Amino acid sequence: QVQLVESGGGVVQPGRSLRLSCAASGFTFSSYGMHWVRQAPGKGLEWVTVIWYDGSNKYYADSVKGRFTISRDNSKNTVYLQMNSLRAEDTAVYYCARDNLAAAISNLDFWGQGTLVTVSS
């Protein structure tokens, strides 16, 4: 069965960096686009970024553009989120999610359980 397992969350000071990982299993990882979506405590869902199946295209929310970088290693079935210059407003549970398509955006049909990032001094 499809599984997505995020890791790498934790408490980090403002201005510092953190890298999240999402390990995929149960499907042909290299055939699907992958997203990161976040949810601040008690708030709604906010899309962060997407990467095409082969890494050829990446798109970002304005709120993270220039600070966050998505990447993937299809040999390791893993997608990453490098987060630099972190701010308090980046505090959230970060979910990775699979897109139903390889090189377009459609529906996010499988989600991980999320990893909590807390930005605080």
**Cβ closest to another protein, residue 16 vs residue 43:** 43
Non-local (6+) Cβ contacts of 28 within 8 A are none
CA 96/CA 115 separation, integer angstroms: 9
- Residue 83 CB, nearest approach to another protein (Å): 17
**Cβ closest to another protein, residue 6 vs residue 18:** 6
**Cβ closest to another protein, residue 2 vs residue 88:** 2
Backbone angles phi, psi at 90, to 5 degrees: -85, -5
**Cβ closest to another protein, residue 100 vs residue 120:** 100
47: which strand partners?
Answer: 37
CA 94/CA 115 separation, integer angstroms: 5
Choices 26-34, 68-76, 80-88, 107-115 (CB under 8 A): range interacting with another protein: 107-115
- Residue 70 CB, nearest approach to another protein (Å): 13
Yes or no: say if 86 and 11 are a contact pair by the CB < 8 Å rule.
no
- Residue 92 CB, nearest approach to another protein (Å): 13
